[in-house]
Amino acid sequence: MSGPIVLTFNPGSSTIKLALFAIGTHGPRPLARGVVDLRHLPLTLRVEEETSAFDVVLKATVSDDLHALIDEILAWIENHFSVNELCAIGHRVVHGGDRFDGPALVSDDVLAAIEALVPLAPLHQPQSIRLIRAVSHLRPGLRQVASFDTAFHRSQSDLVRRFALPRELFDQGIKHYGFHGLSYKFIASRIQELAPNTAAGRVIVAHLGSGASLCGLAAGASRDTSMSFSTLDGIPMATRCGALDPGVIIHLLKQRGLRVEDIEDMLYHRSGLLGISGISADSRDLISSKDPEAREALDLFTFRIARETAAIIVALGGLDGIVFTAGIGEHQPEIRAAICKHLGWLGLVIDAAANARNATRIEAADSKVVVMVVPTDEELVIAQEALSII
């Protein structure tokens, strides 16, 4: 394949998503996407191209440095696509702190700054660092660009970003950061194309996946978001708790004698939909279940999303539209319907048939609020940001 190619890495706590883009006069054009689940052996690269999907069984195992895995993936890509001009690799990095307000070309200094933020994103940040170091070792001349999930939210005011804690802590970095910024950046751009009048107003985007959050947009800029200092805050998620009274943590430490490590594991891995239901972290399993605990988990999930939506409306001063995105938001009509029912007091009414078929516009004709379902594309944003740097 002739012409420049950009590869993107989008790591989760236990998966690595990747995408390959051809660079033309109109920007990045997707060629293929893939994902590797690091929890299952043998490691398998699931590849999706325009007209086909297939699995590539990998010989590598998971090592601390990921060298063997990334070397095998790069070799397979270069062979399968006959790539002769891989011009850059873009990385999703969850936390950019106050240092990064946009993408950055990876250098020793930039990588050191990313490493310094590991305590603020202990599940995701180390994965990005491992990938960057692996590529640097295997392809030392290849340019790498970091795209930060927190950067999109730098447009928020200090009033929104402050906790009611001693002032010096804010200056030391204890503040609202917000996450899923690459997804929100894509959605802000996409709704400008699909519904420009709505995009110019006040919109809340619900990024509902395994990790979940909300973001309030005013004319496409972030004004408030449900996640704050960490990816634990806001609405309940698959296995994460969402907003929690800090007194609960103090109680578990002092009265129950739990270790910090055990509490951390519970809040990140054993709470949310899984913790409430005791059945599954997957909302699809809960929707199909007849157990009352499953229904309670879904009811709490949708109620808390609606309640957080109402809170963000305060920051926006009103609401013109709601956009659902990510795995749950894009594909689960039952969840969307339940959330919108809670928000009926806004004059929000959905069209049941449009909602059932996951249409782009799902509000009823008499709804006072636009309701949309828009697939997100974090990898495209990573590719675009990599090109903007190189």
Check whether 284 is labelled as a binding-site residue.
yes
Residues near 197 by Cβ (< 8 Å), separated by ≥ 6? Answer: none
Check whether 296 is labelled as a binding-site residue.
no
Check whether 79 is labelled as a binding-site residue.
no
Dist. CA 101–CA 387, nearest whole Å: 16
My answer on whether omega of the bond before 42 falls inside 30° of 0, hence cis, is yes
Q: In the chain, count of helices (H) and strands (E)?
A: 16, 13
Check whether 321 is labelled as a binding-site residue.
no
CB burial of 29-41 (b: ≥16 within 10 Å; e: otherwise) equals ebbbbbbbebeee
Check whether 270 is labelled as a binding-site residue.
no
Check whether 92 is labelled as a binding-site residue.
yes
Check whether 207 is labelled as a binding-site residue.
yes
Q: Using CA of residue 324, residue 214, residue 130, residue 282, what is the dihedral sign?
A: negative
Which of 313, 319, 326, 321 shows the shortest CA–CA distance to 195?
Answer: 321
E strands, 273-382, where?
321-325, 370-373
Tokens of 256: 């129950």
CB burial of 315-324 (b: ≥16 within 10 Å; e: otherwise) equals bbeebbbbbb
Order of strands, edge to edge, in the sheet holding 202-208? 221-225, 212-218, 202-208, 321-325, 370-373
Rounded to the nearest 10 degrees, the angle between the axes of helix 125-138 and helix 67-80 is 60
- Report, as residue numbers or ranges, the catalytic residues: 149
Residues near 57 by Cβ (< 8 Å), separated by ≥ 6? Answer: 42, 43, 44
Whether the CB-CB separation of 270 and 278 falls below 8 Å is answered with no
Check whether 286 is labelled as a binding-site residue.
no
Check whether 329 is labelled as a binding-site residue.
yes
Check whether 328 is labelled as a binding-site residue.
yes
Check whether 211 is labelled as a binding-site residue.
yes
Check whether 50 is labelled as a binding-site residue.
no
Check whether 168 is labelled as a binding-site residue.
no
Check whether 331 is labelled as a binding-site residue.
yes
Which residues fall in the annotated binding site?
10, 17, 92, 207-211, 282-284, 327-331, 378
Which residues fall in the annotated binding site for ATP?
17, 207-211, 282-284, 327-331
Which residues fall in the annotated binding site for Mg(2+)?
10, 378
Which residues fall in the annotated binding site for substrate?
92
